[in-house]
Amino acid sequence: MGIPQTIAEMSRALHGGQVSSVELTRALLERVQRSQPALNAFVTVTAEEALAEAAAADRRLAAGERGPLLGVPMAHKDIFCTRDVLTTCGSRMLANFVAPYDATAVARLRAAGMVMLGKLNMDEFAMGSSNETSHFGPVANPWDLKRVPGGSSGGSAAAVAARLVPGATATDTGGSIRQPAALCGVTGLKPTYGRVSRYGMIAFASSLDQGGVITLTAEDSALMLSAMAGYDERDSTSVDMPVPDYAAGLERPLAGLRIGLLKEFFDKGLDPAIEAPLRAAIAELQAQGATLHEVSLPNLPLSVPTYYVVAPAECSSNLARFDGVRFGYRCENPRDLKDLYERSRGEGFGAEVKRRIMTGTYVLSAGYYDAYYLKAQRVRQLIANDFARAFAQVDLLVGPTTPTVAFELGVKDDNPVTMYLNDIYTIGANLAGLPALSLPCGFAHGLPAGMQFIGPQFSEERLLNVAHRYQRVTDWHLRAPPGYAS
Ligand code: GLN
C-alpha cells in the first residue's frame, strides 16, 4: 500500500488497521533523510524519539483509543520549544539550546498523539520571507530547487509540500505561514491573534506573533487547530473562548456567503499570471452560491511601512535577553563585560536580525518615538478600522497571498525593501489580529499560486469551511511536486 497523503487519510488507515504508526513513521523518516541534502527542511531529526512515540500511539490505538491525530507523524517549526530537543529558532544564538519544556501547542499535539519527526528550518528568529536568513542554510522549494520556499516557515511549507510530513506547525507575524504555504502549493492557516497560546513559542513581535498550521488540506488544518487552540493561563494574551470542533462545519454550503474582493490587492504589483487562476478560483466560489462585492481598505497600502516600525520595535525589546549572560551564545574569551555583550550579540545574531534590532531601537528612542512608533500604532488602528468596516458588509475578504510566485535563491537577499514587499498582502491581517488562510488555486509560470481568505476575529471555522468547499471540487492542493509524489 502507498503512503496516504493527508492527515485524514492517515488517520483512517491507522484506525482501520491498514498501517501502524511505527510503519508510517519509519516510511516518512526515510523520506526525510533522503530529501535532506536537496531541501534542508529540517534542522533536527528526532528519529529514535519518533519511533518510540509511534509505538506508544500504536499501543493507544490497540487499546481502542480514537482520535483524528493519534499516531499521525508531524514536525514543528524550530521556534517552538520542545522538551529535551534542540530548539534553535534558526539562529547561531540558540544553536545549542535544548528546551527544558514543551510549548503549549507542542504539548497539546503530543497529548493528541501526534508523532514528532523533528524540528523544521526557518528564517532566523522568524525574520525573513525566503528562509535565507537561517543560520542552518536556506531551504529549497521542492517545486524548483533553485527557488526559495518562502519564509519564515519555509521548512514547514517545504516539508509538507514534499510529503515528508502531512502537517507542521508554523508561526505568522507578518505572513510567515501564508506566504511560504502559497509559494510551496500547500494550505496554511494563521489563526486570530490569541487563539493559539504563544507560551514556549520564541518571541519575535509579541503583538503580532501567532502560531498556526501548514497542511495539504483545509480539513487537516481543522483537525490540527482543534487540538492546538484554546486558552492557556501561561499566555496572558490567549483568549478564553471555547474552541469549536473546526472539522464539524467544513461541509456547510456557500449559498449566501458574501465575499469581498480586496481592491487594493489587485493593484499593479500583482503578477497577471497569478491573477488569472485566482479569478477562476473566485468564480468557482460564486458558482457555489457566494456573492462577490468589491471592497476597498484605503489604509491597507500603509501596512508594510507600519509593520516595519512595530515589528522591529518589539523585536528589539524581545531579543534583548539574548546577551550571552541570561540566554544564548557566549563569545570566547571576553576581555570584559562590555566585550562579552558586544561580541556575544555581534557573533550570535545574523545580519537581518541586527538590522531589525537597530531599526527597533531607533524608532523607540526618546527623540523618535512620537515620529515613528506612536505614528505607526495610530496607522495600525486605522488599518484595523478599515477591516472592521469591511466586515460589516462581507463575511470574508479574498485576494492573492503573494504578488509573485517563488523567486530564485539569492536574488532578493541584498535588498531588504524588495524582500519586505513580499508580504504586502499578508501583513494587514497581523496588524489587525485577524485569521487568514492561504490555499493553492492553480499555477503561474509552472509554480504554485495562492489564494488568501481573511475573516473577522474568530472566523477560522468559516475560512476552513470555504477552503474545504473549494478543495472538494479542485485538486491543486493534492498535486505533489515532481519527484515527491507518494
Ligand atoms: N517576512 C516577514 C518578516 O520578515 C514576516 C515574518 C513572519 O511572519 N514571522 O518580518
| Active site (annotated) includes residue 375 | no
Q: Is the pLDDT of residue 385 over 60?
A: yes
Res. 97 pLDDT band, cuts 50 70 90:
very high
How many Å lie between the centroid of ligand 1 and the Cα of residue 363? 18
Domain 7-259+392-478 sits in CATH 3.40.50.2000: no
| Active site (annotated) includes residue 176 | yes
Q: Is the whole model's pTM more than 0.85, yes or no?
A: yes
How many Å lie between the centroid of ligand 1 and the Cα of residue 153? 9
**C-alpha separations of 229 from 207, 221, 238 in Å:** 17, 11, 9
**Rg value, the chain, Cα:** 21
pLDDT at 461: 98
How many Å lie between the centroid of ligand 1 and the Cα of residue 252? 33
The atom of ligand 1 lying closest to the CA of 422 is 1
Residues 236, 271: contact at Cβ < 8 Å? no
324-340 pLDDT, tens per residue?
999 999 999 999 999 99
Q: Is the pLDDT of residue 486 over 60?
A: no
48 sits in the region (left: phi over 0; alpha: psi -120 to 50; else beta) called alpha
Instruction: Give the residues surrounding ligand 1 with Cβ less than 6 Å away.
Output: 126-129, 152, 172-176, 204, 311, 423
> Which candidate in 91, 129, 176, 226 is catalytic?
176
Q: Is the pLDDT of residue 483 over 60?
A: yes
Q: Hey, which of 423, 424, 425, 430 would you mutate to test ligand 1's pocket, going by the most ligand atoms within 8 Å of its Cβ? A: 423
Tell me which amino acid residue 439 is.
Answer: L
Residues 425, 402: contact at Cβ < 8 Å? yes
The atom of ligand 1 lying closest to the CA of 352 is 4
CA-wise closest residue to 205 among 364, 360, 339:
360
Reading the block at residue 386, the C-alpha cell is 478599515
171-202 pLDDT, tens per residue?
999 999 999 999 999 999 999 999 999 999 99
* Residues with Cβ within 8 Å of residue 158, at least 6 apart in sequence: 39, 41, 139, 140, 141, 142, 149, 180, 184
The atom of ligand 1 lying closest to the CA of 308 is 10
Residues 395, 235: contact at Cβ < 8 Å? no
Q: Hey, which of 125, 127, 210 would you mutate to test ligand 1's pocket, going by the most ligand atoms within 8 Å of its Cβ? A: 127
> Which candidate in 20, 35, 77, 238 is catalytic?
77
**Backbone phi, psi, residue 385, to 5°:** -65, -40
Q: Is the pLDDT of residue 211 over 90?
A: yes
Q: Hey, which of 176, 207, 420 would you mutate to test ligand 1's pocket, going by the most ligand atoms within 8 Å of its Cβ? A: 176
Encode 163-201: b = buried (16+ Cβ within 10 Å), e = exposed: bbbbbbbbbbbbbbbbbbbbbbbbbbbbbbbbbbbbbbb
How many Å lie between the centroid of ligand 1 and the Cα of residue 470? 28
421-463 pLDDT, tens per residue?
889 999 999 999 999 999 999 999 999 999 999 999 999 999 9
Atom 4, ligand 1: which residue's CA is nearest?
A: 128
Give mean pLDDT, residues 410-422.
Answer: 84
Estimate the crossing angle of helix 47-62 against helix 21-39, to 10 degrees.
Answer: 150
Res. 418 pLDDT band, cuts 50 70 90:
confident
Where do the domains of the chain lie? Answer: 7-259+392-478, 303-379
Q: Hey, which of 130, 152, 310 would you mutate to test ligand 1's pocket, going by the most ligand atoms within 8 Å of its Cβ? A: 152
How many Å lie between the centroid of ligand 1 and the Cα of residue 331? 28
Count Cβ atoms below 10 Å from residue 367 Cβ, excluding itself: 7
pLDDT at 413: 72
Residues 41, 33: contact at Cβ < 8 Å? no
Give mean pLDDT, residues 221-225.
Answer: 98
The atom of ligand 1 lying closest to the CA of 177 is 8
Q: Is the pLDDT of residue 416 over 90?
A: no
> Which candidate in 20, 134, 152, 303 is catalytic?
152
pLDDT at 2: 83
Atom 5, ligand 1: which residue's CA is nearest?
A: 174
241-284 pLDDT, tens per residue?
999 999 999 999 999 999 999 999 998 789 999 999 999 999 99
pLDDT at 265: 93
Helix (H) or strand (E) holding 416: helix 416-420
Share of the chain above pLDDT 70, in %: 100
Give mean pLDDT, residues 51-62.
Answer: 98
Task: Output helix, strand, coil percentages for the chain, rounded to the nearest 5.
Answer: 45, 15, 40
Give mean pLDDT, residues 210-233.
Answer: 98
pLDDT at 434: 98
How many Å lie between the centroid of ligand 1 and the Cα of residue 277? 26
How many Å lie between the centroid of ligand 1 and the Cα of residue 3? 33
358-377 pLDDT, tens per residue?
999 999 999 999 999 999 99
Q: Which residues pair with 294 in a beta bridge?
A: 261
